[in-house]
Amino acid sequence: MLLLAIIQLLVISAVSAIYDVTRYGADRTGRVPCTDAIARAIKDAEIHGGGLIHFPSGRYLTGPIELKSNMVMDVGTGTIITFLDDPALYPPLDVTLPDGQRRSVPFTPLIRAWGQKNVGIRGNKVIFDGRGEIWWDRLPPPATRPIFVNFFDCHNVVLKGFTIKSSPMFNVNILHSSGIVIDGVRIRNPESYHGRGPNTDGINLVSVRKVHITGVDVATGDDCVVFNAWGYLKERVPTEDVLIENSYMSVGHGAISIGSVTAGGLRNITVRNCVIDGTTRGLDIKTNRQRGGTIENINYYNITMNRVRWEGIALIDLFNDNDPSWKPIGDQTPFIRNIRFDNIRGSCDRNPILVQGLPEAPIENIEISNTDIRSPQPIRLENSRNIVINGRRY
């Protein structure tokens, strides 16, 4: 809670002046595109060192929005912002940031901040509509589509109090950043098993540190909340020091997932006081021999899960890998260790606990206590050691 308060204070105190987009010509009826008017407000704020980019309550129609340092997108209560679906408005981007990092994407994100600090989006009962249905039909998998909210190489980020619906692809995607608060964000996309909403990860965080996620409500077409860690920048960049709490995940593939991009390593992650309802997997850690990295010091407390279709708890070193034979340990060998679960309760349709390690690198030091996941199938442990489940050692 202290981290949440400090980061929000840092971001809000960095902005002072208010830049009302309607004063720059933005139409608030939702009938006239206002991309250029919003860009003018942002440019003026940038020239003067930042500020609140204020959207008075209403309806807006726009193309992509780019935020700069010391800038908060401040959206009035009950506002609906709908994004245009013309692909020409979202061209490929290839940018070198001031610190030398290069960022390339096949489509311009709907809302982005790259290489910035003290940035955010806040609202109350606000809806961002990405018109994803049109994009899903136009570019079905494996094609990529625009990301909705995309922050890269940013420091001190606050996302608070809004809903994203119908995202073309990932909803919230934050990479190589630190000091992140996601508070009270709601995400709604259909589940992809019904042919809609593919690749719409809810909150996808990659190589981040000092993160607090609280009060989120996610129903989407891929993983609800997922943590990854890059290994193909100048160096391996971990994800670490993360707290997710008091949140609700429904539909989706994994409710709260770690991996499968793990080369940078993931550590010191705590998940507590969350409810999972109707996802494919409950709590899962997934990687393979091509991903590498060490996943350690992960803690789950007080989790309720209902109607989970597959495993309740899954730790998998053979994700999308069907070769269980022994291999030499190398730079791409993954390691999963020191994982704790306490007070996990609910039901699932497959194994309540699945631990599937590698013969050359067993999953180790797993403690599961006060846990009761009802299931028609048994616990399944493969290539693991020092596993303790409700006081029994395996």
Query: CA-to-CA distance for 303 and 345, rounded, in angstroms?
Result: 6
Please give the average pLDDT of every successive group of 10 residues along the chain, which has 394 residues: 61 79 98 99 97 98 98 98 98 83 90 97 97 93 94 97 97 97 96 73 98 98 95 78 98 95 97 98 95 96 98 89 85 96 98 97 98 98 98 96
Phi then psi for 7, rounded to 5 degrees? -65, -40
With a CB cutoff of 8 Å and minimum separation 6, the contacts of 150 are 105, 109, 111, 112, 114, 170, 173, 174, 175
- Residue 393 corresponds to which tokens in the numbers above? 């050692």
Q: Determine how many CB atoms are found less than 10 A away from the CB of residue 96.
A: 11
Phi then psi for 263, rounded to 5 degrees? -60, -35
Can you give the pLDDT at residue 324? 81
Residue with tokens 């094609």: 143
Which amino acid is it at 162?
Answer: F
Coil, helix or strand for 226? strand
With a CB cutoff of 8 Å and minimum separation 6, the contacts of 108 are 64, 89, 90, 91, 92, 93, 146
Angle at 216 between CA 154 and CA 249, to 5 degrees: 120
**pTM for the model:** 0.95
Write out the catalytic residue numbers. Answer: 253
| Nearest of 249, 338, 235 to residue 285 by alpha carbon | 338
Domain positions in the chain: 2-16+65-393
| Class of domain 2-16+65-393 as given by CATH | mainly beta
- Residue 244 corresponds to which tokens in the numbers above? 């997710």
With a CB cutoff of 8 Å and minimum separation 6, the contacts of 322 are none
